[in-house]
Amino acid sequence: MTPSDLQAYLHGHIPLSAAMQVEVRVALPEQVVLGAPLAPNINHRDTVFGGSASALAILSAWSLLHVRLTAAGHKARLVIQRNTMSYEQAILGDFTAQALAPQAEAWQAFTRMLERKGKARIAISSTLHCDGQAVGQFEGDFVALGG
């Protein structure tokens, strides 16, 4: 899946991503990096609105799973079950969210359960960056349905 394919998918199926002007910078099974500008995500303090920061982190983690499952030939619906978000500092400009592939053992257990039971859960993390610095951390549990 190319970055432009993923971006078109996100903008077409998750309208908030288009409103936030989310750009897919990297779309690989090993990592997904999404970016967003400050302007459509600004708050009353001229920093990034926390909801936008959280949404970009969730989108990056969800997108990583979508790219990995698609590359492996799995058809599944992905939903977030729960998450935590920590904000290390105010985000003063354009920002990114980077989600990295889970450990091989966790991925194998996830896909094995998806194939056997048609349902599986996995934890994915994402890091927010602005101006080369980590500014936030996301941890989320996602459920895949169907196999």
| 82-125 pLDDT, tens digit each | 999 999 999 999 999 999 999 999 999 999 999 999 999 999 99
The CATH number for 13's domain is: 3.10.129.10
Q: Does position 12 have pLDDT exceeding 90, yes or no?
A: yes
pLDDT tens readout for residues 50-89: 999 999 999 999 999 999 999 999 999 999 999 999 999 9
Please write down the HEC assignment for all residues of the chain: CCHHHHHHHHHHHCHHHHHCCCEEEEECCCEEEEEECCHHHECCCCCECHHHHHHHHHHHHHHHHHHHHHHCCCCCEEEEEEEEEEECCCCCCCEEEEEECCCHHHHHHHHHHHHHHCEEEEEEEEEEEECCEEEEEEEEEEEEECC
Please state the pTM of the whole predicted model: 0.96
Q: Which domain holds residue 16?
A: 3-145
Report whether pLDDT(147) > 70: no
The count of domains in the chain is 1
